[in-house]
Structure 1
Amino acid sequence: MTYERFAYVYDELMKDAPYEKWLMILTAKLEQYGIGGRKVLDLACGTGEMTVELAQHGFEVTGVDLSDEMLLVANEKAVKLGLSIPLFQQNMAELEGLGQFDCVTIFCDSLNYLRDEEDIVKTFSRVHEHLKDGGLFLFDIHSIYKMEEIFRNNTFAVNGEEVSYIWDCFPGEEPYSVEHDLSFFVRDDESGLYDRFDELHYQRTYPFEQYKNWLEQAGFTVSEILADLEEAPLVTETERILFVASK
């Protein structure tokens, strides 16, 4: 999977993402669990939208992403705002050498991009190593309901002035997985013509009980499981599940 061109249209596609909600939850949970430190490791930070938001709210944040292109966009945002944010290109399943943090986050269902169970187990272990004792690990995932009922065999489309796209979702090879086949049409400012490029993304999820087991095996205590970024229990139609785990 490449983000070389996708990185530059990502923010347009993510403009309705609940960044403020994630920030509110993170801030509230740090206070709720009595964590006074402000060091946050933002894994799978993408173009840095959340990373920059955290820095602007006084957090000492470090961003990590697998994509150099995404990190380039994130750095451009930080520089433009006069922020100095450490950014590192690493696979979160092989995370190393970044020190310890008060909180580690993996927002925006980024964990669902890990195709193998082993990579999730390794990620949880590496996150545990990078957390201070008592630190929090927050991440959200797509539910099975969202994979099976919202994504599977559905098509989404947006006809924008600058960026348009067609997004087809097909069943993946593994259980509870989806292939996202995206075609983008991006307007060239000089010619006014639209340039097309395609992306194929793969996501996979598991029963929430499995994530809980993996977390406990890595040494975490699962403190809370929230439905759709709300202080609410899971129901059949829950689409996004957020875990709050303590070291």
Structure 2
Amino acid sequence: MSYGKFAYLYDQLMKDVPYDKWAELVLEKAKKYEVSGKKLLDLACGTAELSVKLSEIGFQVTGVDISEEMLTVAKAKANVNENGLAIEFYLQNMAELDGLGKFDIIGIFCDSINYLQEEKEVVATFQRVYEHLSNNGLFIFDVHSLHKIREIFMDQTFAVNDDEISYIWHCFEGEYPFSVEHDLSFFVLDNETGMYARYDELHYQRTYPIEVYENWLQETGFELLEVSADFENDPPQDQSERIFFICRKILRN
């Protein structure tokens, strides 16, 4: 899934996303599991809001995204001052990740893996991540829970009406089990004309039961260290919305 005009509005629309919590989680797990290296790959990095935060707390970050528009914003953000941040960005599909070397930590954050539509794409992503991790490297990712897809998103409408940018967001049941279609219309103020321009995009997301992710990870060769929910260190509950997986690469026999 690539973003069009939405990429240039993404940070405004997502200004309340708790990126600091993701950065704190990565730092916490790196210390807990004694990851000595600092090389981190941020898959589906988007506009690099989290990549920048991770770089600022000491990680050597590489960002990958499938959207040229997102990477354009990301590169500008990383070079916001004359010194810039030493973040390299690459245009790749995470299910086809290739040639980037080894990393101590690989993350797929902000439910980005849910944009993969087919099971084989998720499995392929796990395999590509395994190949790009150093021995004993950590793989950290989060997904929407079944509860969030079925009870919070499905057949709901969300709207925000601000002076400069507003949106209407309709959610519909998708083609696949535990999938949802996000039909987005957003309206952006042109300060020169005083008129609002409308942009429309359709995004898809799909998730799976926790045990399905666990099976795929173990079949790939990962050791599953933790499964938790909603930025807490507690196991997922029926009403949990975001599920976190912390895995470690173990060498295959």
TM-score, normalisation: structure 1: 0.98
Deviation at 1:2, TM superposition (A): 4.3
Partners of 1:20 and 1:99 in 2: CA distance: 27
Partners of 1:134 and 1:154 in 2: CA distance: 42
Name the residue aligned to 1:185: 187
Deviation at 1:36, TM superposition (A): 1.5
Deviation at 1:18, TM superposition (A): 1.5
Contact in 1 for aligned 2:2/2:66 (Cα 8 Å): no
For residues 104-153 of structure 1, what are the alpha-carbon distances to aligned partners after superposition, in whole Å with 9 as ceiling and x for unaligned?
00000000000000000000000000000010000000000000000000
Name the residue aligned to 1:240: 242
Name the residue aligned to 2:37: 37
Deviation at 1:84, TM superposition (A): 2.7
Name the residue aligned to 1:98: 100
Partners of 1:242 and 1:38 in 2: CA distance: 21
Q: How does 1:128-143 map to 2 (within 5 A)?
A: 128-143=130-145
Q: Does 1:66 align with 2:66?
A: yes
Q: How does 1:58-207 map to 2 (within 5 A)?
A: 58-81=58-81, 82-207=84-209
Partners of 1:134 and 1:161 in 2: CA distance: 49
3-state SS of paired residue (1:9): helix
Counterpart of 1:16, as a letter, is D
Q: CA RMSD in A?
A: 0.8
Contact in 1 for aligned 2:44/2:66 (Cα 8 Å): yes
Partners of 2:163 and 2:2 in 1: CA distance: 24
What stretches of structure 1 of length at least 5 have no aligned partner? Answer: none
Partners of 1:73 and 1:139 in 2: CA distance: 23
Aligned residues: 247
What stretches of structure 2 of length at least 5 have no aligned partner? Answer: none
Partners of 1:86 and 1:136 in 2: CA distance: 20
Deviates more, 1:145-154 or 1:78-87: 78-87
Partners of 2:42 and 2:85 in 1: CA distance: 15
Go from structure 1 to structure 2 and tell me whether the alpha carbon gap of 1:2 and 1:104 turns closer, same or farther (over 3 Å shift).
Answer: closer
Q: Does 1:227 align with 2:229?
A: yes
Q: How does 1:41-56 map to 2 (within 5 A)?
A: 41-56=41-56
Counterpart of 1:12, as a letter, is Q
Counterpart of 2:20, as a letter, is E
3-state SS of paired residue (1:157): strand
Go from structure 1 to structure 2 and tell me whether the alpha carbon gap of 1:61 and 1:2 turns closer, same or farther (over 3 Å shift).
Answer: closer
Counterpart of 1:112, as a letter, is N
Counterpart of 2:201, as a letter, is E
Partners of 1:195 and 1:165 in 2: CA distance: 11
Deviates more, 1:4-13 or 1:91-100: 4-13
Counterpart of 2:212, as a letter, is Q
Q: How does 1:212-223 map to 2 (within 5 A)?
A: 212-223=214-225
Partners of 1:18 and 1:127 in 2: CA distance: 25
3-state SS of paired residue (1:80): coil
Partners of 1:2 and 1:18 in 2: CA distance: 22
3-state SS of paired residue (2:79): helix
Partners of 1:4 and 1:222 in 2: CA distance: 36
Query: Once superposed, which parts of structure 1, at least 4 consecutive aligned residues long, lie more than 4 Å away?
Result: none
